[in-house]
Amino acid sequence: MPAEPAPATKPADAATPAERATPAPTAEPARAAKAAAATEPAPPEATVAASGQDPADPKVVAAPVPGPAVDSAPENTPWRWSARNPHAPAFVERVVRCLRGHGVRYVESVPPEHGDDRIGIALGGDGNDRSSISRGLTFMDACERTAREHG
């Protein structure tokens, strides 16, 4: 019987371009998944259970998990800009007048949108006037200080 030929092997440098472009599989996918899970916030039920309380108890309330919904809460709006502040519209108008005094042509106060608590300022108008936007951003902090001092 003749001997079987040895299987052909490719030299390491003979990989196809597709093989070179494909990343090697990770050796430990479980560890990668565990690391990704560690960076995500735990659900409120897990937080309650970890504290030793029964999550099924209706009297137990989980604390809110920090995130975009908590960070943009009305409590985080500065009082001078808050729609709940009865003096906020006057403050914003003083800022707008100051910006106009610095040569900002297109600037106006903007009422809060649904679910928002902050009165805003729009720069640039409908045509997005570059000069108004640039000058408005340049003088915004100074005008806020002026409006606070003269309010």
SS3 15: coil
Whole-angstrom distance between the N-terminal and C-terminal Cα of the chain?
105
Instruction: Name 111's Cβ contacts closer than 8 Å, sequence gap at least 6.
Output: 83, 119
Where do the domains of the chain lie?
Answer: 91-149
pTM for the model stands at 0.51
* Confidence at residue 127, expressed as pLDDT on a 0 to 100 scale: 92
* Confidence at residue 75, expressed as pLDDT on a 0 to 100 scale: 66
Kindly state the DSSP code that residue 101 receives in the 8-state scheme. H
Please, what are the averages of pLDDT over each run of 10 residues along the chain (151 residues)?
Answer: 57 54 51 49 53 59 45 68 92 96 96 88 93 96 93 72
